[in-house]
Amino acid sequence: MTAPRTPTTADELRGAGLRVTAARVALLETVRKGDHLGVEALASGVRDRVGHISLQAVYDALHALTTAGLVRRLEPPGSPARFEGRVGDNHHHLVCRSCGAVADVDCAVGHAPCLTASDDRGFAIDEAEVIYWGLCPDCSTARST
């Protein structure tokens, strides 16, 4: 008996109804290998793999990937947008006020959407976004020395 084949990045793009291009494959794989990267870093990673790609093409592809649910956009207030490949689990983030480092943290309480609103005002809540702000271990250590 043969083991089931693991879907490729191209399979995932097709499954999401997106056209498969070398740039989209490279971008999705760069997002997934990165750590909450911004657009410039993602564009650089894609260029390393496929050659020239315009920043606008990266923005357009990120929009398509985000809309398709393959990528998650994170926008901490006062910071440029960052992107990650961890989707579908409604996790939250820790953001360093000093250096801007971002780290994932699992749900605050219970199952998704992780928090119960004090008054849902009739909304059918299916997701919660929480950003915890503070200093990362490196910045905390630097300030205390």
Q: How far is CA 69 from CA 12, 13, 114, 126, in A?
A: 11, 10, 19, 15
Domain ranges within the chain, ordered by starting residue: 9-74, 88-144
Same fold for the pair 9-74 and 88-144? no
- What is residue 145's predicted lDDT score, i.e. its pLDDT? 67
CATH architecture of the domain with range 9-74: Orthogonal Bundle (1.10)
**Neighbour-count burial of 87, counting CB atoms closer than 10 A to its CB (0-12 exposed, 13-18 middle, 19+ buried):** middle
Architecture of domain 88-144: 2-Layer Sandwich (3.30)
- Pairing type for strands 131-134 and 92-96 reads parallel
The pLDDT of residue 27 is: 97
The widest CA-to-CA distance across the chain, in whole angstroms, is: 60
Per-run averaged pLDDT (10 residues), the chain, 145 residues: 84 96 96 94 96 96 97 89 90 88 78 67 81 91 77
> What does the pLDDT read at residue 20?
97
pLDDT score at 15: 96
